[in-house]
Amino acid sequence: MVYERSKTMVKQTVKQRIIETALDLFQQKGYHGVSIDEIVEKAGTSKGGFYHNFKAKDTLLYEIHAVFISYVLKETKVAYERHDSPIEKVCAMLYAFTNVFDLYQRHITVFYDESAYLPHDYKIIIKEKRTEYRKLIEQVIDDGKKSGDFRENISTTITTMAIIGLVNWTYKWYKQNGKLTMEQITVYFNDIILRGICTEQGYEQALAKSHLLQSSN
């Protein structure tokens, strides 16, 4: 049993090392400019180690996406379940979304720059995951409209896509060594969103809960 456990740990280490190496190389040379041989050599593993973890190079590209979308989905669900009011839920869910730019900025940059090369089957899986995330946002918007926190006359679909669109392209301009932290930027995002969707009473509630619109930095 000890031997089997150590083997699993080695496998996980090799997989992560391959992903990290691929991220470096894809950023330097682009997806098509990098071969599996080069990834294997730089990662200090073998082709057997590569194919044990990935069926092909496009599987590796998909896994790069899976790392950060899985994180976003998990943390968004936790945020939805942890908080009571729709206002707190939407703010916490947005923090879960934006935090990914600190944790997985390279993954996001590489994926969006190279995603055109993914096979159709992988694109379908990714679409399903994004749909799952979109439905979580739609749910909290509907919750807020029913509770009176959000305006009844806003479109749930348009509001959801506006929120996603506001945040999605952050990876293009966000710098981890810039003037503002991701947490501070998210405070701006939250304020913009709440001002647009809240009823007067709902926004007053948000202001009363100062932690929603203030950074800890």
- Give residue 209's pLDDT band: very low, low, confident or very high (50, 70, 90): confident
Query: Residue 215 above 60 pLDDT?
Result: no
What is the model's pLDDT at position 194?
A: 94
Give the closest residue to 49 by CA, choosing from 6, 25, 13, 23: 13
State the total domains in the chain: 2
User: Over the stretch 154-169, which tens digit does the pLDDT of each residue have?
Assistant: 999 999 999 999 998 8
Give the domain range for residue 33. 1-54
Provide the residue type at 202 as one letter.
G
pTM: 0.81
- Give residue 116's pLDDT band: very low, low, confident or very high (50, 70, 90): confident
Query: Which residue, of 37, 54, 71, is where some domain finishes?
Result: 54
- Give residue 210's pLDDT band: very low, low, confident or very high (50, 70, 90): low
User: Over the stretch 38-47, which tens digit does the pLDDT of each residue have?
Assistant: 999 999 999 9
Question: Do residues 35 and 97 both lie within one domain?
Answer: no
Question: Do residues 115 and 199 both lie within one domain?
Answer: yes
- Give residue 207's pLDDT band: very low, low, confident or very high (50, 70, 90): confident
Distance CA 146, CA 88 (A): 15
Query: Residue 132 above 70 pLDDT?
Result: yes
Distance CA 96, CA 105 (A): 14
Question: Do residues 50 and 73 both lie within one domain?
Answer: no
Distance CA 178, CA 34 (A): 30
- Give residue 8's pLDDT band: very low, low, confident or very high (50, 70, 90): very low
Distance CA 122, CA 129 (A): 11
Distance CA 96, CA 87 (A): 14
Query: Residue 184 above 50 pLDDT?
Result: yes
Query: Residue 105 above 80 pLDDT?
Result: yes
153-157, 172-176, 189-193: least confidently modelled range = 172-176
Tokens of 160: 């959801």
SS3 151: coil
State the CATH number of the domain containing residue 196.
1.10.357.10
